[in-house]
Amino acid sequence: MAELDLQKIVSHCKEYGFVFPSSEIYDNLGAVYDYGPFGVELKNAIKEYWWKSMVQMHDNIIGIDAAIFMHPTTWKASGHVDSFSDPLIDNKDSKKRYRADVLIEEQIEKYKNKAQKELDKKGIDTNASDEEKARASRNYNKALQLEAEYIKAAEAENFKRYKELIEEHEIACEVSGSKNWTDVRQFNLMFATKLGSLEESSTDLYLRPETAQGIFVNFLNVQKTARMKVPFGIAQIGKAFRNEIVARQFIFRMREFEQMEMQFFVRPGTELDWFEKWKEIRLKWHLALGTNPDDLRFHVHEKLAHYANAAEDIQFNFPMGFKELEGIHSRTDYDLSQHQKYSGKKLQYFDSELNQNYVPYVIETSIGLDRMFLRVMSESLKEEELENGTRTVLALPPALAPIKVAVLPLVRKDGLPEKALEIYNQLRFIGRAFYEEKDSIGKRYRRMDAIGTPYCITVDHQTLDDNTVTIRERDTMKQERIGIDKVEEIVRKKVDINNLLKKAI
């Protein structure tokens, strides 16, 4: 079965009602997308999988749903007003704008890819030391040098040096091919808006760029009302907004997106153990979907944010290569301490075992719901060569499928629709069921394959005689004749979310 490129996924999402460009009749709004009838079901199923595994299956995690608007001081305290920005650079010939850090990181990746070929040719082991690899490959040497210079510049926030590195390594614009660059400038990613109707008395607000701060400012409210003891976590799913400059690659990088975040509050000094534990738990959650383990990997942050003492991403092998899917960060006591400082209110926890007050340390797991959607789509969408042509099938984990089962009368007469509707009305208690009588049965099967429906139930003339139907399984296309009384149990078992939860926990 062929894996599909990003463009095919984008087209499939549009054609089959998963994702549409926003405001399409007005020629779209850049990097904003709407989820269609099957997209919203898949998105809700992913949320359900995350929420149940994090909140329902962990006694020490509870949920909240904080507002998108927050007091503006929140963003001063969190550091977003002063430092949530991207270093931008423009190509003077094409006028195309880039993130300077991304240009450099891509160049490092290019050197490494070239180096890999050289090393493979010379038979150098992948576990060989950096020195050995650098001796054997000029490109490996270049990658290491650029990486070291880049980290130094990033840590010193020396954006002038970014431009020098771009020039020294002769990085060219992908549109014009020219190396004619502007200086690097900082651009804050938060969207600003106003609260209140009167210009003079209105307050400047921001649309939240992450959901995490809603959790931090509610730390004591939640801890006290839910009577939680450290270590415990607070989980939340919600929208976040970033004025992304390089907003490409479909729903991978959007200006309005959804995050599923969890902040886990721990005793100071235990955070690095918890960091390792959460890495393991989250990887298991990803693997439970049946993903090829080679398509997931950890990526250690080379440059740590000033408040973090460890940070890794779970990267997925998207159609455009390995990219960040989820971040796992050890954020120390930075956020709570900052909110304490700016609000003047104590955000401490009394640990009765230690008989001591402290500001807890925090491990964060943060995953983009839309990125998770893209990952599920990209690993599920396949084109299969059959004897009679190509079949497009969305081999989703059944528990995530937008439609759990379709009921199809073979023809639109002889009482078959009535019988099929009777079965359909029974099955809709399991999850979203679908009834369709238009088109040939073959076409209807293909349509269900393309939206990922695990089972199709076909009602034919024999059904009226002996109360049996055919059940067709999406992945194997195998059809079996079974009694109507067996259908509900078979479908229910297959699409049960607990199948995933049991593997994830």
Binding site for ligand GAP (CB under 6 A): 210, 212, 242, 244, 253-254, 257, 259, 261, 324-327, 364, 366-368, 370-371
Q: How far is the CB of 189 from ligand GAP (least distance, A)?
A: 9
Q: State which residue, 299 or 382, has the beta carbon closest to ligand GAP.
A: 299
B/e letters for 361-377, b = 16+ CB within 10 Å, e = fewer, are bbbbbbbbbbbbbbbbb
Q: Minimum distance between the CB of residue 489 and ligand GAP, rounded to whole angstroms?
A: 37
Whether the link from the prior residue into 409 is cis, omega within 30° of 0, is no
Strand-by-strand arrangement of the 389-394 sheet? 2-3, 381-386, 389-394
**Short-list 469, 255, 281, 263, CA closest to 347:** 263
Residue nearest ligand GAP, CB atom distance: 368
Query: Around Cβ 91, how many Cβ atoms within 10 Å?
Result: 21
Closest to ligand GAP by CB, 251 vs 487, is 251
- Residue with smaller CB distance to ligand GAP, 211 or 468: 211
- What is the nearest approach in angstroms of ligand GAP to the Cβ of residue 369? 8
Looking at residue 410, its amino acid is: L
Query: Per DSSP, what are the bridge partners of residue 195?
Result: 203
**190 or 416: CB nearest ligand GAP:** 190
Residue 198, amino acid: L
Nearer to ligand GAP, 243 or 343 (CB): 243
Nearer residue to ligand GAP within complex by CB, 283 or 482? 283
Nearer to ligand GAP, 216 or 424 (CB): 216
Q: Tell me the sheet residues that pair with 288.
A: none
Q: Closest distance between ligand GAP and the C-beta of residue 292, in Å?
A: 20
Can you name the residues that pair with 393 across neighbouring β-strands? 382
Q: How many residues does the chain have?
A: 505
Q: How far is the CB of 72 from ligand GAP (least distance, A)?
A: 18
Q: How far is the CB of 259 from ligand GAP (least distance, A)?
A: 5
- Alpha helices of 23-129 — where are they, by DSSP H? 37-51, 73-77, 80-83, 100-121
SS (H, E, C) 100-138: HHHHHHHHHHHHHHHHHHHHHHCCCCCCCCHHHHHHHCH
User: The tokens 């004591």 sit on which residue?
Assistant: 220
Contact 473, 458 (CB under 8 A): no
Nearer to ligand GAP by Cβ, of 236 and 453: the residue is 236
For ligand GAP, the closer CB: 87 or 327: 327
Would you list the DSSP string of 185-249? EEEE-PPEEEESS-TTT-EEEEB-S-SHHHHHHTHHHHHHHTT--SSEEEEEEEEEE---SS--T
Pick between residue 139 and residue 330 the one whose CB is nearest to ligand GAP.
Answer: 330
Please tell me what DSSP assigns to residue 383: E
Alpha carbon distance 322, 311 (integer Å): 17
If the CB atoms of residues 333 and 370 are measured against ligand GAP, the closer one turns out to be: 370
Closest approach, Cβ 205 to ligand GAP, in A, equals: 19
CB of 32 to ligand GAP, least distance (A): 10
Q: What does the alpha-carbon distance between residue 122 and residue 458 come to, in Å, rounded to a whole number?
A: 59
Min separation Cβ 373 and ligand GAP, Å: 10
Q: Closer to ligand GAP at the Cβ: 161 or 253?
A: 253
Rounded Cα distance between 178 and 92, Å, is: 8
Q: Which residues contact 421 (CB under 8 A, 6 or more apart)?
A: 407, 435
Q: CA 482, 487, 489, 495: dihedral to nearest 10 degrees? A: 120
